[in-house]
Amino acid sequence: MSEGLDVSEFITGYLAEADEHLTNASTLLVSLDATMRRRETNPKAVRELFRALHTLKGLSAMVGAEPIVDLAHEMETLLKLGDKAGGKLPESSVDLLLKGVKAIEERVKALKAKKPLEPAPKALVDALAALRVDAPTSTPAAALSLDPELSAKLALAEHEQLAQGLARGRRGRRVDFQPTPEKAAAGFTITAVRERVGKVAELVKVVPRATASGVVFALLVLTDATDAVLAEAAGAAPGQVTPITLNAPAAVAVDVEEDDARDDSEPAARDYVRVEVSRLDDALERLSALVVTRSKLERAVARLRDGSSDLRGLQAIVTENARQLRDLRGAIMRARMVRVSELLERAPLIVRGLSRASGKPVHLDVQAGDAELDKTVADRLFPVIVHLLRNAVDHAIERPEERRAVGKSEEGHIRIACADHAGRELELTVTDDGRGIDREKVAQRAGAPVPRDAAELLDLITRPGLSTLDAATRTSGRGYGMDIVRRVTVQELGGELKLDTRPGAGTTFTVRVPLSVTIVDAFSFGCGDETFVVPVSAVDDLAELEPGQVVATPDPNAAAAHVRLFRHRGAAIPLYLLGKLLGCPGSSAERPKVIVARQGVEAIGFQVDRLIGKQEIAIRPLKDPLAMVPGVTGSTDLGDGKATLVLDLGALASRHAFRKASA
């Protein structure tokens, strides 16, 4: 840049355009971050990002903003390599690129304020340059000698894996495996075959295909073993092993339109589950076992009809059928599981956004582990995580100057950790190193006595009323949305919520939820002539209602569902007439029973007419607004084809209490 050239007239235009490219780059990086966490590539975003930075570099050179040129150049070079490699970028690229964008933003701001520009941060430039070394080199896309139908099922990366293996001189083979009851009896199930083939070959992909004679799995592998070894591992005839070879290099068809479609797929993606193919194969195989049982049943019925057999033969088939149905259910439930790491992949972006909005630098550490959750639980848990993160950033983490004053690092720390407990529960903790929750202040704000311990404090901050109170004083408060956290965790998912807080040192929320809630054990009971169920996990105790155990209380308002006192295990607990709470007509019984449930730390009794039994139920959440009422969590079918309501007793009691309070 020549000294004499006056660039000030360009600056205004430059600033506007630079802003636009930077905003564009940030947006692209966010979507790129999401795709990379899914271990997918987004070549379009990489290319656009490259263009944005390339343009920015050119513009910055024109106004002589050398530090910006340096940064943009390094970023652009990395992106160019990524573009050549079909959109693949090294792992930590997004973070560094985000830092790069931020560094450029700072310098653009400085230009605007007519301040001197700081040189490009050397560490960042070096880190970006270092990444280039790891960048995947471009590979000429090669066509494989594969059935187009199979070829279409391969992801680009799988294509590449096969092509690269072949190029390195490994043998590519396709092994066809068709499960049959005979093979299964000999131990050759698809799961076993996968495992066995996996020992002698690199399994690239298993593609199940429906054919006239049933499901056939095509195993596509790279191997050094002979065809005979492969065939033996798969329990297949040697003729069922066919070679895969490399054809002359040609462009692998990349469906550009599909890439376009993927860009706006983000919001809708939540209703899908990504399933490991092996799990679907497993379910398919269990389904074929059921089909076999059905033909056995047909034969047995035919034999019964001509009198050559009795019912005993049938009994064995029914038992087998029950076992197979259970297996199939298990297989389908496994297919519904999503990785917690997948659930948490958006957490860093959320924290980044909150951190930016609040002006508090926050470092998030995610230890997702390899736990898995049922899709239903995962979907409900996600808002809980968002609320906890938001509370941590907005309320718990102090401002940088405040942190410095008390000897903490300026950057706040939040940690999310997950662990799977005995394959039945997930424990998720959100820990911050912020100011902790002040019991006195919360009590004062809620107009309640000062909580004696963490459990009481948790009860207080998750009170539905408190969030309303808080809305007015949100700047200093905590508890925003905590009632939702509690409701989802405890009432909807049947889990537990715990709190550990130390003033000045930080807070940990522990959420413990079952890995799957679709099927639970439940008690069924009757009020009047209606039947209801309540999950066993929500019930503390069941008791007979003996005369003399109940004490009436004053009833100045002549409440419809008046509370009495019930002596239970040495304590006096409130007792509701559940029939009255639910408005059941004609509810009365000679020997009523009591269901004791727990609401927070408090036990509450509910008088019902009769207990019917305990059984496993599949809860269907009620999604229609017409049917969504507090106290009803879902519906189930007890086997009579009718909808039976699944109740949340605690919510029913608080609904009643609230009506009273607002009456």
Partner 1 sequence: MTALHVVFKVGDVEYVLPASEVVELESFTQATRIPGAPPYVAGLVQIRGKVIAVVDLRARFGLPAVDRTLDSRVIVVRHQDRLVGLLADSARDVVKISPDEFRRPPEVVTEETDGFVDSIAQPGKRLVMKVDFAKVIGRQELPTAPKGAP
244 vs 619, beta carbon nearer partner 1: 619
Partners of 549 in beta bridges: none
Tokens of 396: 């718990």
Closer to partner 1 by Cβ: residue 53 or 517: 517
Using alpha carbons only, give the angle 365, 368, 369 rounded to the nearest 5 degrees.
Answer: 125
For partner 1, which is the closer residue by CB, 298 or 637? 637
Pick 19 or 530: Cβ nearer partner 1: 530
**DSSP bridge pairs for 412:** 362
Q: How far is the CB of 555 from partner 1 (least distance, A)?
A: 22
* Nearer Cβ to partner 1 (237/663): 663
529: Cβ–Cβ under 8 A, 6 or more apart, which residues? 584, 586
Which lies closer to partner 1 via its Cβ, residue 516 or residue 599? Answer: 599
Which residue lies nearer to partner 1 by CB, 227 or 648?
648
Smallest distance from the beta carbon of 646 to partner 1, in angstroms?
Answer: 11
- Residues near 47 by Cβ (< 8 Å), separated by ≥ 6? 83, 87
Helix, strand, coil distribution of the chain in percent, nearest 5: 50, 25, 30
Find tokens 């959100």 and name the residue: 430
Rounded Cα distance, 406 and 636, in Å: 54
Q: How far is the CB of 583 from partner 1 (least distance, A)?
A: 5
- Using only C-alpha atoms, what is the Rg of the chain? 32
Instruction: Report how far residue 84's alpha carbon sits from residue 82's, in angstroms, rounded to the nearest whole number.
Output: 5
User: Rounded to the nearest whole angstrom, what is the least distance from the CB of residue 582 to partner 1 in the complex?
Assistant: 4
Q: Measured in whole angstroms, how far is the alpha carbon of residue 433 from the centre of its chain?
A: 25
Q: Which is nearer to partner 1, 113 or 663 (CB)?
A: 663
Contact of 174 with 186, CB cutoff 8 Å: no
Shortest approach of partner 1 to residue 623 CB, angstroms? 8
- Ranges of beta strands (E only) in 86-189 are 142-144, 171-177
Q: How far is the CB of 654 from partner 1 (least distance, A)?
A: 5
CB 627, min distance to partner 1, A: 4
Decide if 519 contacts 445 (C-beta within 8 A): no
Q: In whole angstroms, what is the distance from residue 558 CA to residue 574 CA?
A: 16
Would you say 44 or 487 has its CB closer to partner 1? 487
Minimum distance from residue 383 beta carbon to partner 1 (Å): 11
Phi, psi of 647 (to 5 degrees): -100, 155
Supply the minimum distance, in Å, between the C-beta of residue 544 and partner 1. Answer: 25
In whole angstroms, the minimum distance from the beta carbon of 250 to partner 1 comes to 44
Beta-carbon contacts of residue 624 (< 8 Å; ≥ 6 apart) = none
Q: Alpha carbon of 304 to those of 312, 602, 645: distances in Å? A: 10, 59, 41
Asked whether 288 and 179 are in contact (CB, 8 A), the reply is yes
DSSP symbols for 379-422? HHHHHHHHHHHHHIIIIISPPHHHHHHTT--SSEEEEEEEEEET
Compare residues 364 and 488 and give the one whose CB is closer to partner 1. Answer: 488
Q: Which residues bind partner 1 (CB under 8 A)?
A: 464-465, 467-468, 483-484, 487, 530, 581-584, 620, 622, 624-632, 635, 637, 641-645, 651, 654-655, 657-659
For residues 251 and 663, which CB has a smaller minimum distance to partner 1 in the complex?
Answer: 663
Selection from 247, 240, 40 nearest residue 148 by Cα: 247
Phi and psi of 267, rounded to 5°? -65, -40
| Residues listed for the chain | 663
Cβ proximity to partner 1: between 504 and 583 the closer is: 583
Shortest gap between Cβ of 635 and partner 1 (angstroms)? 5
Nearer to partner 1, 51 or 562 (CB): 562
CA dihedral (352, 354, 357, 362) in degrees, to 10, reads -60
In angstroms, what is the minimal distance from the CB of 620 to partner 1? Answer: 5
Element (H, E) at 252: none
Query: Element (H or E) spanning 569, and its range?
Result: none
CB 319, min distance to partner 1, A: 26
* Minimum distance from residue 391 beta carbon to partner 1 (Å): 17
- What is the phi/psi pair of residue 241, to 5°? -110, 120
CB of 537 to partner 1, least distance (A): 20
Measured between alpha carbons, how far is 184 from 406 in angstroms, rounded to an integer? Answer: 67
Closer of 607 and 635 to partner 1 (Cβ): 635
Is 42 or 644 the residue whose CB approaches partner 1 more closely? 644
Per the CB < 8 A criterion, the answer to whether 650 and 597 are in contact is: yes
Burial of 654 from C-beta contacts in 10 A (0-12 / 13-18 / 19+)? buried
In sequence order, the β-bridge partners of residue 363 are: 413
Q: Which of 208/621 has CB closer to partner 1?
A: 621
Smallest distance, partner 1 to C-beta of residue 634, A: 8
Spatial neighbors of 247 by CB under 8 A, at least 6 apart, are 142, 143, 144, 145
Q: Tell me which residue of 395, 385, 384 sits closest to 362, measured CA to CA.
A: 395
Distance CA 126, CA 132 (A): 10
Which parts of 548-648 fold into alpha helices (H)? Answer: 578-581
